[in-house]
Amino acid sequence: MTIVWALFMFVLWVAEPLFLNRLFKKHARTNPEKTFVFVHGFHMVLLTLSLVTIAGAVAGSHGWFPI
């Protein structure tokens, strides 16, 4: 879960201000549909990763993984 949070924080506070904002604006001007599909897909990957992490934490706290 810490890795997922670190990834979110990196994208939000480091990558976006440094280069992602300019990169997305440039690509959105030339091909907005493709840029939207890419950003939406990336959000879906991060959402899925978060949900898998949460499900694993819940399963582990309820004893579903006997280690």
List, for residues 10-51, the tens digit of each pLDDT value: 998 999 999 999 999 999 999 999 999 999 999 999 999 999
pTM (predicted TM-score) = 0.75
From residue 62, alpha-carbon distances to 4, 55, 58, 59, 66 in Å are 21, 11, 6, 5, 10
- Asked if residues 20 and 11 have their Cβ atoms less than 8 Å apart, the reply is yes
